[in-house]
Structure 1
Amino acid sequence: MDKNNRSPSKGSRNLGQLFLQLRRLERQPQQFGSAGSITPSEIHTIEGIGYEGAVLMNELATRLGVTKGAVSQLVVRLEAKQLVTRSAYPQDSRATLISLTDKGKEAYKVHEELHIQFYDQLRAELGQEEIEIFEKCIEKLNAMLQK
């Protein structure tokens, strides 16, 4: 906003448009290889689990910044799609480990490749100095949104 008349600047309007586009994208399921149609919250859960190993259910909730109940619902949906498996945690029978199946790992890889392709497109549009500024701005925006 302009400090003098407090009217929206071009930058704030563009930021608003960016947020609207991101919200629109967050509602649309996408195809991720043979894994089929996966919602953004599901693919971000897969990303939170990680490609290798397993993660405790409560740790996954912390990584995603959501409740254990929300993670539990997501895991049920991902199990039904055969993208994750649950197993007992050896040190505590009350805890549950979540890991990706082969199909889940494929979805993870496809999602990761989409991010790489998007960033490659961005690099083709921007110069090195612009990329550095963009990255710094994204870091600051993320920090502001986490407050």
Structure 2
Amino acid sequence: MIMQFRRLERHPHTFGSAGTLTPSEIHTIEAIGCEGGILMNELAARLEVTKGAVSQLVVRLEAKQLVERKIYPHDSRGVLISLTEKGKEAYTAHDEVHVRFYEELRSGLSRHEIEIFETCIEKLNEMLKR
């Protein structure tokens, strides 16, 4: 299963009019979210990467017209990152992929199997956080 996840994480996917995005690009879009914007340093913390890595991702996403930078109005040293309309479309398309995946997964499981699966996922998550 881990090998399957790794395989998925290496390949770009198409997300609506945003076109083909790498997993790191779409996860950055997901971390920014559709509501307002996020400061660059908060985005780095949310993604658990360096500010330099986030800066490189933001440059790529700006070139694809998916995000925009603005000076943070309350502190001119801060940079606020937000999604463009095209970026919001990618965010929504990514969310729809997740919804379809979980609907398909749930349709093949009984109520009892879903409960067991959710318990296993919670335990796996706890172990991975250690």
Give the TM-score normalised by structure 1.
Answer: 0.85
Instruction: Write out per-residue CA displacement over residues 67-96 of structure 1, whole angstroms, 9 at most, x where no aligned residue.
Output: 111111111110010000000011111110
Distance 2:90 2:75 in 1: 30
The reply to whether residue 134 of structure 1 matches residue 114 of structure 2 is no
Higher relative contact order by CA 8 Å / sep ≥ 6: 1 or 2? 2
Runs of 5+ unmatched residues, structure 2: none
Describe how 1:5-84 pairs up with structure 2 within 5 A. Answer: 18-84=1-67
Give the match's secondary structure for 2:65: coil
- Rg larger in structure: 1
Distance 1:126 1:69 in 2: 43
Distance 1:51 1:131 in 2: 30
Task: Report the equivalent of 1:97.
Answer: 80
**Which moved further from structure 2: 132-141 or 99-108?**
132-141
Partner letter of residue 76 of structure 1? V
Distance 1:60 1:143 in 2: 23
Task: Report the equivalent of 1:118.
Answer: 101
Runs of 5+ unmatched residues, structure 1: 1-17
Partner letter of residue 66 of structure 1? V
Considering only aligned residues, what root-mean-square deviation do their CA atoms show, in Å? Answer: 0.9
Q: CA deviation at 1:143?
A: 2.0
**Which moved further from structure 2: 123-132 or 82-91?**
123-132
Give the match's secondary structure for 1:46: helix
Identity %: 70
Give the TM-score normalised by structure 2.
Answer: 0.96
Instruction: Write out per-residue CA displacement over residues 114-140 of structure 1, whole angstroms, 9 at most, x where no aligned residue.
Output: 000000010111111211221222122
Q: CA deviation at 1:53?
A: 0.5
Distance 1:38 1:141 in 2: 28
Give the match's secondary structure for 2:78: strand
